[in-house]
Amino acid sequence: MRLVFATKDLALAGRSFEGFPLLIGSDGWPVQPAQSFLWHILIESGESLSTLTWEAYGRRLYDYYAFLEANKLAWNDETPAHGLSVLSRYRDWSIGELALDPRTVNNRLALIVRFYRWAKQQNLIKMLPFSEKRGRVVPHSGLLSHVTRQGKEGSKVSIMVRERKRLTKFLTKDQVKVCLALDADPSHQILFHLMVRTGLRSCEARSFPLKYVFNPRLKNGLRRGQMISVALDPSDMQIKYDRPRIIDLPWSLMEDLWSYSLHQREMRNSRGDGNVTALLLTNEGRQYSKDAVVDIMKSYERKCGFYVRAHMLRHTYGTYTLLALRKTKEFEGEPLMYVRDRLGHSDVQTTMIYLHLINQLEAQSVLAYEDEIDMMFMATSINHD
């Protein structure tokens, strides 16, 4: 079995479903009923039109079916005891052998639970491989957070794992300096800068379009050192939930992007097919994949000796930007709302996590974003030649 994503050739009624997840069995046919469930939940119900959500749902269902296939298990095995069900075995394997974080496991289980409920509604199975009891549902903070509502009565599922409270991780000032000083690939450096200095998500940074880059020295109305507002459009790049927003990009970073586009990108582009619209290219002239970004962050971790992940760079931006804006007297807006809008949060409650992080910061680890970090970035030149 394998997971592939549809090309633009998958079309129905004049609409293309490029990027839709396809679970293909060893016989070359779609794996059922998983494929029908994905079509129902993502297309027929209109739950999400985001290709990022399509990919996430596809990967989670594929992971479950791959486990079943590897262990010669059937998805519809009707084991009487819930604790011995195929779903329980998958959960225990994820927690035990894979040692996955409970939150990650619950993200996967939440979708599989919905799959089984759908299958029962379709009369494909007689009983669910888990028990449920009515109660007040605690809002889910992971993959399916956009379909849960706080304070609503719902079913508590026995299969779910108890989650431990996790601290949001971000880089300290000294850790950022160490990362910036590394002799890394030019594309990796730009990727790191985009995320830690603007708060872009991994998918947004790797799909950041070349068309957004220009020489700030030749742009009328701009002065050296100012922040440059850049409007992100989901028709140009990948944005979570396809919500357009505006980010503020430092002048010095725009200069680096422009220099990269003229030299490194041109060389890499000549090795590919020349049709990639993203700014950042691999050595082979291709756009970076999700897995490639994970590998890049792990390479930073190996060289630095401390934990580095893409989401930490986004948290670093959010924490220190909020801190700096709250301390400056020149900023006239509401710092929390500013950070919320730049990060693309749909709810300010999500942004408030950075208030808690600020309270945890010790005085010596405080990173003044507008002055100190900008000087630090400018002092660490990016080699584009």
The distance of Cα 294 from the centroid of its chain, to the nearest Å, equals: 11
At residue 295, the pLDDT reads 96
Quick check: 100 and 94 in contact, CB under 8 A?
A: yes
Angle, CA 55 vertex, CA 50 and CA 57 arms, to 5°? 95
Helices (H) and strands (E) counted in the chain, each on its own, are: 15, 8
DSSP state of 209: B
- Alpha helix segments (H runs only) across 31-101: 34-39, 51-70, 86-95
Q: Report pTM.
A: 0.71
DSSP state of 311: H
Quick check: 297 and 189 in contact, CB under 8 A?
A: no
At residue 385, the pLDDT reads 52
At residue 53, the pLDDT reads 86
Tokens of 268: 């890499």
DSSP state of 372: I
At residue 44, the pLDDT reads 86
- The whole-angstrom separation of Cα 255 and Cα 228 is 11
- The whole-angstrom separation of Cα 9 and Cα 28 is 17
* Torsion sign, CA atoms 73, 75, 81, 83: positive
- Domain boundaries of the chain, sorted by first residue: 2-157, 173-379
> What are the C-alpha distances in Å from 146 to residues 47, 63, 174?
9, 22, 36
Domain 173-379 is of which CATH architecture?
A: Orthogonal Bundle (1.10)
Low-confidence ranges of the chain (pLDDT < 70): 47-49, 80-83, 134-155, 165-166, 361-385
259-262, long-range: CB < 8 A, 24+ apart? 259/382, 259/384, 260/186, 260/187, 260/190, 260/382, 260/384, 261/210, 261/213, 262/384
> What contacts 40, CB < 8 A, 6 or more positions away?
118
Tokens of 377: 């970035």
The distance of Cα 300 from the centroid of its chain, to the nearest Å, equals: 18
> What contacts 119, CB < 8 A, 6 or more positions away?
33, 37, 76, 125
- The whole-angstrom separation of Cα 373 and Cα 176 is 9
At residue 369, the pLDDT reads 44
